[in-house]
Amino acid sequence: MSRSNNLKDGAARAPHRSLLKGLGFIAEEMDRPIIGIANSFNEIIPGHVHLQTLVQAVKDGIRNAGGVPMEFNTIGICDGLAMNHIGMKYSLVTRQLIADSVEAVAMATPFDAIVFIPNCDKVVPGMLMAAARLNIPSIFISGGAMLAGVYKGKKVGLSNVTYYQIINEVVKNKLGGLHSAKCVLYSVDFEEIEECQKKGDWDRSAEILGKVALSLEKAGADFIVICTNTMHKVVSGIKKYTKLPILHIAEMTAIELKKAGIKKIGLLGTKYTMQQDFYKQILIDNGIEVVIPNSKDIEIVNSVIFNELCLGKIKKESKDEYLRIIRDLSKAGAKGVILGCTEIGLLIKQEDTDVPLFDTTNIHATSAALYAIEGK
């Protein structure tokens, strides 16, 4: 007997059938399987705005296959909108709320199967948890990755999107045809990492990323790329968890600087990257002198990264400040400037200045793609 028969069969279910008919069921549909659709659509999360289109296609498919679709919704919070205020403390808990609500609906309304329509990093695991609890036939149709936007004719996006885009472009250009990169992507909760940074708890950061590295190793990765400059500070700690080689962003940048004949370079990044030795020392060891902004400008650069760029905010006044700081570094003798934070490239482009820029996101991602293809 199907689960949905508990809603439809026998004299005792006459009230249930009347309610179903009140929802629009016709007599023929009473004998068909009922398929739930757990839809996480809302007008809060940018990655969810198109989910209604997917749901309609799913409904059409269910009806064409002889089933009856019944849609219900779950909550969802946008981490970007919740960040940097008390709302961030309410994000993680929604994973459990989503799992509980889907389970409650599917037990109270015994569907024969469920199609889950999730997107974003709390909704997906929440729905997966619900599917595991229910243990009924389930299909997941993700809304997909949010693609980079276009600004002045060029694609822009957050660092992990940009990495993915560059790596695939390099692989396709090198190998041709329909080739794309074989990637295992692990996206961490940046709120947790940023809290460790503020507390100076680098050991905890190394533990978090070390466990991620081990997961990537178990998933079959051949080497690891850390898509951030600052967290290369804990590379030695991460190596305690994995045997895989780590493609160090500063080493790749040093190679590019030497190719360009640069002996003195300006460095922009988080205050940790600019002030501490874990990054600069690699450049110095390669015979490259490093110039950083003054203490006031370090705070400006750092604030723009964390309070604007990491939140997807691009402000003209911040761009003007960055360009001023770049000019000052050039006046101090720097023959170029490293954009040593994966988000800075969203704000500053080479066409904005005559000073040669070295975008570590582009350098690192390109190096990763070539390493995957050529092994060097």
Q: Which range, of 145-159, 173-187, 215-229, averages the lowest pLDDT? A: 145-159
Over residues 113-149, the pLDDT tens digits come to 999 999 888 899 999 999 999 999 999 998 876 665 6
Specify the CATH class of 5-140 in words: alpha beta
- Asked if the model's pLDDT at residue 72 lies above 90, the reply is yes
**Domain residue limits, the chain:** 5-140, 149-247+365-374, 249-361
Q: Which sequence positions are flagged as catalytic?
A: 228, 341
Do domains 5-140 and 149-247+365-374 share one topology? The answer is yes
The mean pLDDT value for 222-250 works out to: 93
What contacts 24+ positions apart, CB below 8 Å, involve 214-221?
Answer: 214/241, 214/242, 215/186, 216/184, 216/186, 216/242, 216/244, 217/242, 217/243, 217/244, 219/184, 220/184, 221/184
Query: Residue 346: its pLDDT value, please?
Result: 82
Q: Which helix (H) or strand (E) holds 293?
A: none
Please, which pLDDT band fits residue 157 given cuts at 50, 70 and 90? low
Confidence of residue 187 (pLDDT cuts 50, 70, 90): confident
The per-residue pLDDT for 339 is: 94
**Rounded CA gap, 253 and 363, in Å?**
6
In this structure, which topology does domain 249-361 adopt according to CATH?
A: Rossmann fold (3.40.50)
Gyration radius of the chain over CA positions: 25
CATH code of domain 149-247+365-374 = 3.40.50.1860
